Amino acid sequence: MFSLQSITGVIKSAFLTALTLLLTSVIFSGAIAAEPVIPRGKGEFCVEPTDVMRKDHMKFLLHQRDATVYDGVRTKKHSLNECVTCHVQSNTQGDFIPVNAPDQFCESCHTFASVKLDCFECHATTPDSEHSALRELLPSKSMLNVMAFRQKLEGRSTYHAVDDPSLSEDLIGILKE
Amino acid sequence: MTAEINAKRRRLIKGAAAVAGLGSGLQLVELALAKSDEEAVSALQRWGLLIDSSKCATNCTACVSGCNEEHNLEGFDRPETDAQWIRKLDLTDQQTQHVSSLPMLCQHCENPPCVDVCPTGASFKRDDGIVLVDKHTCIGCRYCVIACPYKARSFVHESLHNQKSYSPRGKGTVESCTLCVHRVDKDLSPACVEACNTKGNGAMMFGDLNDADSEIAKQMKAAPSRQVREDLGLNTGVRYQNI
B46-241 adopts what CATH topology? Alpha-Beta Plaits (3.30.70)
Residue B34 pLDDT > 80: no
Of the candidate ranges A172-176, B148-152, B232-236, the one whose mean pLDDT is the lowest: A172-176
Q: What pLDDT is stored for residue A135 in this prediction?
A: 40
Phi, psi of B13 (to 5 degrees): -60, -40
The string of DSSP codes covering B174-209 is EE---TTHHHHTTT---HHHHHHHHTS-S-EEEEET
Could you state, in order of their start, the residue ranges of all structural domains in chain B?
1-40, 46-241
Share of chain B above pLDDT 90, in %: 82
Q: What value does the mean pLDDT take over residues B145-154? A: 97
What 3-state DSSP class applies to B143?
helix
Q: What is the DSSP string of chain A?
A: -HHHHHHHHHHHHHHHHHHHHHHHHHHHTT-SPPPPP----SSSS-SS-HHHHHHHHHHHHHHHHHHHHHH----STT-HHHHHHHH-EE-TTSPEEPTTSTTSHHHHHHHHHT----GGGTS-SS-SSSS-HHHHHSPPHHHHHHHHHHHHHTT-S---GGG-TTS-HHHHHHHH-
Q: Is the per-residue pLDDT at B4 higher than 60?
A: no
Strand A96-97 and strand B86-92: the pairing is: unpaired
Q: Which residues of A touch B127 (CB under 8 A)?
A: 71
A76/B171 Cβ within 8 A: no
- pLDDT of B58 > 70? The answer is yes
Spatial separation of the C-alpha atoms in residues A127 and A98, rounded to whole Å: 9
Which residues 50-69 of B have a C-beta within 8 angstroms of A? none
Residue B185 has pLDDT above 50, yes or no: yes
Query: Is the Cβ pair B39, A73 closer than 8 Å?
Result: yes
Span of A80-89, A157-166, B44-53, B80-89 with lowest mean pLDDT: A157-166
Report the pLDDT value the prediction gives residue A162, as an integer from 0 to 100: 55
Q: Is residue B3 scored above 80 in pLDDT?
A: no
- Residue A136 has a pLDDT of 42
**Mean pLDDT of each 10-residue bin along chain A, 177 residues long:** 57 59 50 73 89 95 96 95 93 91 92 94 87 42 47 52 55 53
**Chain A to chain B, count of Cβ pairs less than 8 Å apart?**
54
List chain A domain ranges.
1-32, 50-132, 138-176
For the stretch A85-90, contacts whose Cβ atoms lie closer than 8 Å and that sit 24 or more positions apart, written own/partner, are A85/A127, A86/A41, A86/A42, A86/A43, A86/A46, A87/A39, A87/A41, A88/A126, A88/A127, A88/A132, A89/A39, A90/A132, A90/A133, A90/A134, A90/A135
Whether the pLDDT of residue B169 is over 60: the answer is: yes
What pLDDT is stored for residue A175 in this prediction? 52
Residue B75 has what pLDDT?
Answer: 87
Q: How far is CA B67 from CA A46, B105, B143, in A?
A: 35, 11, 24
Q: What is the pLDDT of residue A17?
A: 59
Q: Are residues B115 and B216 in contact, defined by beta-carbon separation less than 8 angstroms?
A: no
The pLDDT of residue B74 is 85
Q: Do A70 and B124 touch (CB under 8 A)?
A: yes
* 3-state DSSP assignment of residue B235: coil
Q: Average pLDDT for residues B48-54, to the nearest whole number?
A: 97
The predicted pLDDT at position B18 comes to 47
pLDDT for res B17:
47
Q: How far is CA A140 from the centre of its chain?
A: 25
Q: Please give the average per-residue pLDDT across B40-67, as a whole number.
A: 96
ipTM of model = 0.83
CA–centroid distance for A166 within its chain:
32
User: Residue B235 has what pLDDT?
Assistant: 97
With a CB-CB cutoff of 8 Å, which residues 142-181 of chain B face chain A?
A: 159-160, 162-166, 168-171, 173, 181
Residue B142, pLDDT above cutoff 90: yes
pLDDT of residue A9: 63
Give the pLDDT confidence of B111-140 residue by residue, as tens digits: 999 999 999 999 999 999 999 999 999 999
Q: What is the pLDDT of residue B152?
A: 97
Give this prediction's pTM.
Answer: 0.74
Mean pLDDT (chain B, rounded): 89
DSSP, res B82: S
Cβ-nearest to A123 among B38, B163, B185? B163
